[in-house]
Every structure is written in structure tokens, then in C-alpha cells.
Amino acid sequence: MRKRTSPVLQVAVPAPLRRHFDYLAPPNVSEQQLTPGVRIKVPFGGRTHVGVLLATSDDSSVPAGRLKRAMALLDTTPVLPDDMLQLMTWASTYYQHPVGEVLQHALPVLLRQGRSASAPTVTVWRLAAGSTLDPDTMAQLHQRAPRQAALLESLQQAPDGLNAAQFSDLQWDWRAAMARLVDKGQVEAHTRSCLSEPGAAAAQPGPPLNDHQQAAVAAATGHLGEFEVCLLDGVTGSGKTEVYLNIIEQVIAQDRQALVLVPEIGLTPQLVARFRKRLASPPAVLHSGLTDQERLCAWLAARDGEASVVIGTRSAVFTPLARPGVFIVDEEHDVSFKQQEGFRYSARDLAIVRARRTGIPVVLGSATPSLESLHNAARARYRHLILPERAGAARPPALHVLDVRHRPMAGGISAPLLEAMQRHLTQAGQVLLFLNRRGYAPTLICHDCGWVGSCHSCVTHMTFHQGERRLRCHHCGAERKVDVQCPDCGSPDLRSLGVGTEQIEQSVREQLPDFVIVRIDRDSTRRKGAMDRLLTQVHEGHGQILVGTQMIAKGHHFPNVTLVGVLDADQGLYSADFRASERMAQLILQVAGRAGRAERPGEVLIQTHHPDHPLLQALINDGYHAFAEALLAEREETSFPPCSHLALLRAEAPGREAPLVFLEAARESAEALAADGVSLFGPLTAPMERRAGRYRAQLLLQSDQRAALHRLLARWAPALEALKSGRRVRWSLDVDPMEMF
């Protein structure tokens, strides 16, 4: 190392290496312009990359002659403020993920590509002032150009104009048709801020809060400007969202911003509409359906303080805020807050870390809090705010176990459940059947020779989808047509084993032909807008029986549903994953919470082969808290989280040996680092040994002390990068893993 006259730039480059890269400053750039957080265009491996400046330094470990010069400075002011830069650097260390890739998550696509971070606007289309839509012209247009006609008619209904988001449901290329209308002068395109929705009405007040809600709001807002974690633990319908809205109002009144994180499927148009209606300033919404331009727009509005409220899914935790006031994580137990690939962060956990670094409160809300959060609340690390009853007059549903042993099951439905369905339907109630398995059946087998429809790339059966006569692998996406005969012996006697939602729908249709059935799962909602159409159908009463997977468990309320059938509770009781029973209980209660209102409380029937299972009994008889306590005792005994901390090293390769060889070397390397207080388990083959054509294995690290685990990880990750056997596998490190395969 030697002193240099011009500064060395430490740049986070999007590359899979756990380090930053050094460059000389671009030509004609002064030292004052080199603020951390600005984007810099750099040469990297023969290509050009957009990196982020982390810091400048006087020296570099790269020899003078080999230091490359950066190509250009892209910003005059940092795109990422210092607090975000610090948070991302922290996250990169905590999750042991390359800082360059971590920073990618903090930037909208357009900024990653090097586009300018300019003022947020969106295009709004309006009917041109002079354009006439007399019936004759329109009739002609309908003949000649039906798409243009349709657009003109929508615009006619919207004097304030419409933006791209409002056309996003259309299945055809509306932009081309709109461009032609603009060319012809019939439509005008304007730009405006992406935030102000046309015709947004003034804020409407919510219901007066009940005592529990008031206490929760007072507790959460008592120390704005100080770090505290509040666990808002309230049954479904207890008015948690009203509590959030009241907290947000107070935060806005102090001229600060609120960031609200919700699970992917919880971010419904209904939720956004509710926030929009109740708050005076329109929220910036960040979700996966946005165009790159819309996303940049919302992101900049948040960063520059133009948006007082930001609502988003997992990655929104990285949205910079000019004046952060509170973070809210709704359904904090939801696994979708944990990213399961690449940069494996937990948005909930990062929200807490960010709140601590910022010095503001964070509110975690759930009807079924994670064991991690309950554990922290029990140890007084979190303030525990409880909403024990449903708001308004609605009463909670009653849960009952339905012992299905020895009972005939017609297409997954036992006779007592069918009777209950008939009873509720004749009383004009709606019925919701929940089964967390889509398709017709999880297995297709030949009754004559035993052939089973297996995936060629994974060690698993393919799911039978009868409607399309296809076998589909739900793990790798492979699919193939099913012949009427067995591919091995030619027998026509192919039978399905087990049930999925498609079969439930069919069997209910056969058994209760007089009622309309609506199925909601990933297959039935694949097309854009399908989910909303199906939900509307249910809400308007044009569907008495609702069959669905966990897609129906969140965010939606079905007030006319009086009976919920949980078709298979056993899935979660005996699983290799230690979190399976926690998930099952959460899903059962979430689904149960969809039902019932004041005058018609819901009934919940849970089909099981293990009616006496102690966890199920605790859940049914004593409720979620008793269940969680029993489960926590189990975790304590077995030393699983939250009573210990885990990291999982996964490896996969086309051959069986390579992952095990790498993991063995990884284990030796950990042992050589004197892993005091950390236990190593493995290498073991993954529960699904082969997936998408690759063999998988893993090594589990476990420790009672987080610090000990992280001390080891910090020294181990660079050692792993250096392992030769690592080049023959794809490997990843998962800190605080949520899935154990």
C-alpha cells in the first residue's frame, strides 16, 4: 500500500463477491463531488456497471498501475442518503451477502440502469377538449377500431383523466391504441406527480376507537421519536388497521412519514383504497405490479418527503424516507417478509433494525404473531399491545375439531362437513373451504403396475391437473400431458391419490349441484384481474361456496361466510419442518378470521386424523396464545428458534457428490476457525434431494448466542469464497432461515 494524491473510490459493484472494488475518480470530477451514495459508472469484467460510491480512501490494496479509472459520475447529489447506505452495509454484513448486490435491492430498476433520478411524474390521458363522441362516430369506431372505442369510452367516464395503472387490467396492448388516439388529436397526454390521484376526496374519519384500540394508539405514539417495538397482537377484525391509521395520522401531524409493510397478497386494492380514503395525503404504493417508471416515481416521492405514507411489500423496507416517523409491519408473522433467494433478508427484522438506527417506533401487527415476536414480548423487549376482541359487534367464530378417522370421505369432504355445509347454505350463509394444495391430486398412480407420475428433474410426484389433463411439478414448473393410459403398462386404470382444490371444487359441484362454487388459487387467478373478478363475485353473493388455498387467508373479509371448513389440518402436525405446526395454526386462524359478522358469527370445522394432538387441542380449546406457549416450550427443549439462532449453508449441483464435498470442506473450515458456542449439523442431503435437476445438500449452524454465530460467519464467509470445491456447486448462506430445505 502507498499514499496516493487522488482519492481512491470504494465502489459497491453488483457482483457476487463479498467486497467493494477500488477505482480512480472519473475524469474531471472534483473531490467535493464524491459524496458517498452517488452512482458511478465503472468498467468491470469487460462490461460497464452502475455502482454506488461507499467511501473514498487515500490508499488501496490494488497496485497503483492496475487501478482502473471510473468512467462517469451519474449524480450530483447522493441517490441513497447516508442512513440507507449504512443500513445496507450493515445488512450486507449481517446476512453475509455481497454489498453490491444488497445495494441493488435499495434502488429502483431505472436507477440501477443509470437513468437520471429526476422528478417523479406519470402520464395521464384525457379526452381532448374538442373531441366529440357522437353515437354515429362511436358506432363506426366500434366496427373499425374496437380498442380505441373502448378507451374513448373509459376516458369519457373520467373527466380528470386516467393513468397507466388504471388500464393495467386490460389484456391487450392499450398503449398502442392510446398512441393512435393521441396522434389523431382525440386524446391529450399530460404529466403530473405520480402521487396525486385525480379526484381524491378529502380524508374521511374512521369509527371512534374502542378502549383497547385507544390504549394501543396511545402506547405506540407516546414516544414518537424514540425507538421501541410494539407488538400489536389482535384477533382478526379487532381493528388493527384502524390503530395503524390513527398512529399514522399522528405521525403525519408531526410532519413525519410512515412506512407500512404488508405481505405480497395482503396488498389489495381494497387496502390501498382504505388508506386513500382515510388519509388526507395520498400514499405512495410500491408493489410488484408497477412499471419501472411508476416505481421510480413512488420511490423518489418517498425519498424526497413528498409522500407522507408509503405502503409496500417486502422490498419497500429499503425505501429511503426524508423524515421517517414510524414503521408498521402488518401480518408480521408472514413468511413472505423473508426473501428466499439471492439476498435472503427479513424485511420485518430489517424494519426493526432500521427503526432502532433511526430512533423511531416500529409496530408489528398480527392476529397470530410469530413465536419470535411473542418470545421477545414475553421477555419485555417488545411492548405487548393486545386487542382481545373483534371491533364493533362482531363475535369471533367457534372452532371445532372434526374427527375424520373411519369416516368415508367423498372427494376430501366428510359427511358431517357436508351436512354442515347444507345447513349453512339453506340459511343463506356462504361457505369457505380451505385446502392449501392446488391441482386435482398430488399424485397420479397406475392401479395395475404401480407407475407413479414423477418429475424427471426433482425427487417428487407431479401434481395432477385434471382440467388440462396435465401433470405439473410444483417445485420446478416442469409439466407434461397425461395420456388416458399408463405410459408403462398401457392400463387405462390411472387413479389419483390425495386431494387438491380442483378436486374439491368438482366433488362439491357433484354433491351440491344447486350452488355456485368459486375457486381461488394460483391456477384460477393466473390471468391479470381474475382474482378481483372472483372476489367481487363472492362479495356480491353470486357464489355460495368458496374453495381456496392460502390465497384467501389474508386481507379479504367475507362477512356472509358463516361456515369455514379446514379440509386437512394434518399437513402441519407431522412435518420435517419445525415451523410447520406454527404455520398451520396461523393459517387456520387466518382463514377462520375471514368469516362472520355481528348478526351471524362463524363456525369453523377442522378435519383431522389426529383430533387428540396436544397442539391442536391447545389451539382449539385455549386459543393461539396457549398454543404458542406450548410450542415455545417445545422449541426451548429442542433448541430451535427463537430459543437459538440458525444459519443454513446450502449447496447444489448437477452431480450428487459435489455439494457434499463442498459442505464437508466448509465444515472443516468452520471447525478450523474455532467455532466456539456454535454447533454444526451435517452435511446432510436436503429433504428433497434433487430439485430442478440439481442435487442439494446443506449444513446447519446453530448457536444459543447470536454474537457467537455472527463472529463465526464473518470469518467463515470469506473462507467459503476461497474454497476450490465451491466452484463446482452453487452455494448460498441463509442467516435466520425460514425454510429448512
Region binding ligand ADP by CB under 6 A among candidate stretches 142-150, 236-244, 309-317, 398-406: 236-244
The C-alpha cell that represents 391 in the structure block: 371491533
Q: How far is the CB of 313 from ligand ADP (least distance, A)?
A: 17
- By CB under 6 A, residue 236 contacts ligand ADP: yes
- By CB under 5 A, residue 4 contacts Zn ion: no
* 668-687 CB burial, b ≥16 within 10 A, e <16: ebbeebebeebebebbebbe
For Zn ion, the binding residue among 25, 53, 413, 458 (CB under 5 A) is 458
Contacts of 571 (CB under 8 A, 6+ apart): 436, 437, 580, 584
Q: Are strands 443-446 and 494-497 parallel, antiparallel or unpaired?
A: antiparallel
Contacts of 324 (CB under 8 A, 6+ apart): 256, 257, 259, 358, 360
Distance CA 78, CA 52 (A): 9
The DSSP letter of residue 438 is -
How far, CA to CA in Å, does 54 sit from each of 71, 84, 95? Answer: 16, 11, 18
Residue closer to ligand ADP by CB (options 241, 430) is 241
Checking 632-639 for CB contacts under 8 A at 24+ apart, the result is 632/371, 632/374, 632/375, 635/371, 635/578, 638/578, 639/702, 639/704
- 491 interface partner picked from ligand ADP, Zn ion, none, CB below 5 to 8 A per type: Zn ion
- By CB under 6 A, residue 209 contacts ligand ADP: yes
- By CB under 6 A, residue 238 contacts ligand ADP: yes
- By CB under 6 A, residue 261 contacts ligand ADP: no
- 209 interface partner picked from Zn ion, ligand ADP, none, CB below 5 to 8 A per type: ligand ADP
Distance CA 384, CA 371 (A): 13
- By CB under 5 A, residue 489 contacts Zn ion: yes
Among residues 301, 353, 297, 345, the alpha carbon closest in space to that of 327 is found at 353
Q: How far is the CB of 520 from ligand ADP (least distance, A)?
A: 19
Among residues 506, 515, 491, the alpha carbon closest in space to that of 422 is found at 515
For Zn ion, the binding residue among 137, 457, 550, 732 (CB under 5 A) is 457
- 159 interface partner picked from Zn ion, ligand ADP, none, CB below 5 to 8 A per type: none
- By CB under 6 A, residue 541 contacts ligand ADP: no
For ligand ADP, the binding residue among 16, 27, 185, 207 (CB under 6 A) is 207
For ligand ADP, the binding residue among 260, 309, 391, 535 (CB under 6 A) is 391
Distance CA 645, CA 709 (A): 8
Region binding ligand ADP by CB under 6 A among candidate stretches 230-238, 345-353, 562-570, 632-640: 230-238
Contact 181, 172 (CB under 8 A): no
Contact 207, 391 (CB under 8 A): yes
The C-alpha cell that represents 682 in the structure block: 451435517
- By CB under 6 A, residue 397 contacts ligand ADP: no
- 473 interface partner picked from ligand ADP, Zn ion, none, CB below 5 to 8 A per type: Zn ion
Strands (DSSP E) along 228-299, which ranges?
228-234, 257-261, 284-286
Q: How far is the CB of 472 from Zn ion (least distance, A)?
A: 9
Q: How far is the CB of 376 from ligand ADP (least distance, A)?
A: 21
For Zn ion, the binding residue among 1, 179, 273, 449 (CB under 5 A) is 449
The DSSP letter of residue 616 is H
- By CB under 5 A, residue 688 contacts Zn ion: no
Residue closer to ligand ADP by CB (options 367, 651) is 367
The C-alpha cell that represents 7 in the structure block: 482519492
Residue closer to ligand ADP by CB (options 106, 217) is 217
For ligand ADP, the binding residue among 228, 233, 242, 332 (CB under 6 A) is 242
Q: Are strands 361-366 and 228-234 parallel, antiparallel or unpaired?
A: parallel
Residue closer to Zn ion by CB (options 114, 687) is 687
Using CB under 6 A as the binding rule, the residues of this chain from 163 to 182 that contact ligand ADP are none
Q: How far is the CB of 286 from ligand ADP (least distance, A)?
A: 20
- 455 interface partner picked from Zn ion, ligand ADP, none, CB below 5 to 8 A per type: Zn ion
Beta bridge partners of 685: 697
Number of Cβ within a 10 Å radius of residue 733 = 21
Region binding Zn ion by CB under 5 A among candidate stretches 143-151, 206-214, 486-494, 565-573: 486-494
Interacting residue ranges for Zn ion, rule: CB under 5 A: 446, 448-449, 451, 455, 457-458, 473, 475-476, 478, 486, 488-489, 491
Interacting residue ranges for ligand ADP, rule: CB under 6 A: 207-210, 213, 234, 236-242, 391-392
